[in-house]
């Protein structure tokens, strides 16, 4: 099967099964989305959603969070992964937003990447979810599923390479949704250790390329 045909079949499946899809993170503003995405690094959305309500009650925006020391934020996020470094990043990120962006989250990639705790994946999520841009965020789920379904090649062995290949084949207007399609498929069906192939509607076209399907760092 040619790669173009594989994309056509898989994307058509997701269009039918998940026509309306978005992040499972809970937030009330672009700033709160940014905080939640930073907290979600190597942590489940479920856990993040458990800690953010109380965090946002005390620090709802950049102005309030910028006034807090990392130790104050740590109290509310201690149950997420790497809480100490994330608390430091959140405090510094909020201060930089106040200093350079009047407390508003920028939509520009380079300006996002300048913020503490923000890497390419996080920046892509913000651009796609908050600003509706055609950006493909590649996390461990997207990376794994893209390899297993044969959407990318073995040579696409970094998140950036996977991102570029997916962007090449997925229609621009569907890129933001496609990120969530692949992510949710990886989260609930094509799981890391024991994929639920018997429950997968794509099994008939899946080449099951398990080699090189994990993100090695």
Is residue 139 flagged as an active site residue? Answer: yes
Is residue 86 flagged as an active site residue? Answer: no
Catalytic-labelled residue, pool 139, 154, 156, 161:
139
Contact 90, 115 (CB under 8 A): no
Catalytic-labelled residue, pool 88, 121, 135, 156:
121
Dihedral in degrees, nearest 10, Cα atoms 50, 52, 58, 60: -150
| DSSP-H helix ranges across the chain | 3-17, 30-39, 45-58, 62-66, 70-77, 83-101, 109-113, 120-125, 140-148, 159-169, 175-188
Q: What are 8's two structure tokens?
A: 């056509």
Instruction: Give CA–CA dist 104/52, Å, rounded.
Output: 19
The residues annotated with a catalytic role in the active site are 121, 139
């Amino acid at each position: 099967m040619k790669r173009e045909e594989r994309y056509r079949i898989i994307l058509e499946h997701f269009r039918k099964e998940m026509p309306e899809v978005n992040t499972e993170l809970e937030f009330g503003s672009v700033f709160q989305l940014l905080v939640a995405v930073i907290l979600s690094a190597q942590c489940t959305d479920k856990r993040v959603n458990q800690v953010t309500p109380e965090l946002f009650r005390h620090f709802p925006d950049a102005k309030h969070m910028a006034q807090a020391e990392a130790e104050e934020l740590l109290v509310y996020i201690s149950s997420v992964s790497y809480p100490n470094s994330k608390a430091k990043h959140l405090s510094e990120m909020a201060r930089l937003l106040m200093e350079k962006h009047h407390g508003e989250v920028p939509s520009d990639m380079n300006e996002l990447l300048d913020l503490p705790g923000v890497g390419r994946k996080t920046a892509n999520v913000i651009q796609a979810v908050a600003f509706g841009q055609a950006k493909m965020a590649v996390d461990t789920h997207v990376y794994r599923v893209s390899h297993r379904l044969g959407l990318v090649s073995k040579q696409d062995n970094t998140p950036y390479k996977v991102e570029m290949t997916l962007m090449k084949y997925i229609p621009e207007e569907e890129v933001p949704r496609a990120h969530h399609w692949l992510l949710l498929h990886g989260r609930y069906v094509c799981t890391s250790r024991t994929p639920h192939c018997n429950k997968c509607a794509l099994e008939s076209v899946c080449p099951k390329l398990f080699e090189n399907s994990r993100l090695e760092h």
